[in-house]
Amino acid sequence: MFFLMFNWATHLCSKFWIRRDRVVAVSCGDEHTAVVCQSGRLFTFGANEWGQLGLGTNQGVAKPSCVKSLKPVRKIAFFS
């Protein structure tokens, strides 16, 4: 499975591959996205002004990054 992402700043598309780990949930905010895989890994990317990506920094991330501070999650709730 792969995601086709669009980078608004550069107007370039890129691909994000997840091998042998099915995506079970996707949540999108105005400028950031979270992806949960069947193994429980959480990937986030996008704007990060307030640290909302959970990566320990407040710099934006263009490509999906695994949130290593979390152990694999079994359930996650998304709010809109």
DSSP string for residues in 36-72? EETTS-EEEEE--TTSTT-SSS-S-EEEEEE-TTSPP
Distance, CA of 37 to CA of 22 (rounded, Å):
5
Band of the pLDDT at 72, cuts 50, 70, 90? low
Dihedrals φ, ψ of 32, to 5°?
Answer: -150, 160
Closest CA to 78 of 25, 30, 20: 25
Reply yes or no on whether the pLDDT at 21 is more than 60: yes
Domain edges within the chain = 2-66
| Between 70 and 16, residue with greater pLDDT | 70
How confident is the prediction for the chain on average, in pLDDT? Answer: 77
Band of the pLDDT at 11, cuts 50, 70, 90? very low
pLDDT at 45: 92
Distance, CA of 62 to CA of 80 (rounded, Å):
22
